Structure 1
Amino acid sequence: MQDIQQEVVSLPRSYQTELMGQAKLENLVICLPTGSGKTYIAVMLIKEMAHDTRRSIDDGGKRTIFLVKTVALVQQQSEYIRIHTDLTVGKYYGELKVDLWDNERWINEFEQHQVLVFTAKVFLDLVDHNYFPLYKVNLLIFDECHHSTGENCYASLMRRHYDTCHDQPRILGLTASISAKKLKLSQLETTAKQIEDTYRARLASGSDREESARCGTSARVKKNSPKALADVFEALVGAVFLDSGNSLQTVWDVFEPLLRNYIDRSIICPNLNPVRWISENGGKVKNEFPEITDDGPMAVCVIQMSNGTMFEGRGTNKNKAKFDACRKAMKQSVDQQTS
């Protein structure tokens, strides 16, 4: 497997220190932008609670469990923890044939390693079969914890075992979004409550939103900027929602003035499909013909609106030329209505 190159962090940012301090005292789901250092907060907490993991299991010691969704993340996160701590780190996933290991092998693994990084299904199976009960875990970390609905392994582990555990581990969830799906504004409150209920935790994103957004990968990415901007905006909306005490009205009051023009445009033209828009507004194809240009043959399409205005579009085929003409017609009409 390819070596994983990891950047070594030597000094935590202020919001990382703040959130780690909160996670010491209560179960926490940390929601921060991609690349803002959520894993380092987990590492800080692992080291803070390491007095339990440095002891042998036989002497009453406990273990820290870090759960992830993929084998690649097992490799990445275990290497990150190894670089940033002096603790022994084990990694476990299905391709290692761990389902064939007996109880004695697992006892040895937990004795030799202080932090163990698992794909979620492997650890759920261990707990289900009582190979390693939750009361022997001091810290249980869920990476990408927005994947937590239905029979998902994360949700199943919490539902089947956490509430009945007589000595419950601290829970730390890490996510860049409170949902794996795109949400409407009206769904934010329900989804936030669901993730808090699943992990018996409080959602938090720190008080210095500007610093965490600035430090996130999305803020530095130049290519594919629409997706990067979407990540930043989603994190900001979530942060305002959390800090306002889950108030949708506050979220609306903050962002509606910024988005008013775009919201109005989407109401005027909700489908945003130029060809359909032209058809619904009385436009029609007036003419289509080929054209020879310096770049080769092109198709030309002329659209005529009901008021007689015509728009000409070009493309490498008739469909693309029609779409270009329709787009120009729709843009002019919508711009006039919103100006």
Structure 2
Amino acid sequence: MTTQLKDAGTLIRLAYQSMQSMGLDADEVLRRSNLTSQQLYDSSLRTPHQGQSSFWQAAEAVSGDAYIGLSIGDNMPVFKGLVLEYLLISAANYRDGIERIINYQRLISDALDIQIGEDGDYFYLSFRYADSNSQLIDCTLISIARALLLNSDSTLQPQRVELCHSPAANPGAYHRLDRDVGNNILCRYQRAFNCQVTFEKSENRLYYSRQSLLRPSMHSQPELIMFHEQCAEAQLSYLQKQDLIGLVEYNIGKNLSTGEHQLSAIAKQMRLSPASLQQQLEEAGTSYSKLLNDYRHALSLRLLIHSDDSIANIVQRTGFSEPSTFYRAFKRWEAMTPIEYRKKHRLH
């Protein structure tokens, strides 16, 4: 039901802190990514996954570092205080804890697919994003590897790492690099993961010894597992409710100018009865009329400020049947007419 893939704000927040510790202009990176430092400290922040590309491009441009994902990951504070951390340490053993984390991986990102597998004497964790961004992969894997190491009292040390991408800044160029340069790049990766790293593999994987994953956690508290899973379920439920709201808003936007934006029409598109949709929205803490009102309000402000559309065209695009209805709604929203609002904001 997700209309747009999103990531938890945690990774970018920690990357921001890492850039600050490295002496980089972290605020400029955020500015180029249409983010602010204030946003990062909202615990409920979810950023569009498609924005990861612009964030890492900005980080590379500002730093001048073609391996900025590796550098940021190498300097990043460890994940602390997340419910996923407690699922790991309170489980009977680390494999059990990791499998529980995988059940709630969406709390990290909608776009990330984490799986656990076996290969001889090793277990491995594979990581795949909906798109391939080597900077993001480097930073994610280093961050997760270090979080697992810290929260397992140094038990979960990767034995080897496999990455899909080439170690060269320009894919395919690694084999043409000077040997000393190539060795230096490889050393940076191996120092960051503290193990052997190989490239151009079929999957991104962290390998762990079977013994380490089956080792009982020193902090195992079976009586708390249910509590921690209830916390994770509550967070997952919140995301699912936001999905519903996002899908309703998407359908409102798609249908608004056609006049087919009644609750019954939107519910039919979502294959729900109007009563069921309204009930689900109430459970999400909102209502269809509020979402419609808020969407029209935001759209009208955007069109008045950022377009030269006539008022008649804005009336049609916001789904009002006639100008007088739109004027009454706008006066209720902004305590002035649409024309007054446009003049006021075009002067600034």
User: Considering the TM-score relative to the shorter chain, is it more than 0.5?
Assistant: no
Structure with greater proportional helix content = 2
TM-score by length of 2: 0.31
Structure with greater proportional strand content = 1
TM-score by length of 1: 0.31
